[in-house]
Structure 1
Amino acid sequence: MSVPQIDIDDDALERAMTVAKVGTKEEAVNLALNFYVEQQKRAARISRHFERAREWGAVEDAERLHRAEKNDR
């Protein structure tokens, strides 16, 4: 494991530690990094599913249904 020397916003780090209920800066940074990676993976999965739905015509069907429901109001 590396020991990088970086400048981190002390206020942001303190808030992150409080919200995450962690006791060390290392825990907070590692938690934030892992959270970011998981969010990016999740966004990529959602994007792939959305593209598949578009290929199947499901997106257009949903948009058409939404417009119909909106017009009925």
Structure 2
Amino acid sequence: MGWLHSLFSPLKKMWFRLHSGPKKTGRGIYILYEDVKSCPCEDVHVLWSILVEAHTHTTPSLPPPKA
């Protein structure tokens, strides 16, 4: 049975490493937003607004449509 454990142990570690990493979806930002919204500290809200403003200024805007 030791050979079976030695075979599946690295596979199990790889499986957990692949499936427990951070997700690359917007869900994490939404969870963070909900945490910020529920926080009573004014400083957190100010920092969040600065972050949102900085993000909107750095995203490239689309060129105006040609007529």
Give the TM-score taking structure 1 as reference length. 0.32
| Structure ID, larger Rg | 2
Q: Which has the higher helix share?
A: 1
Give the TM-score taking structure 2 as reference length. 0.34
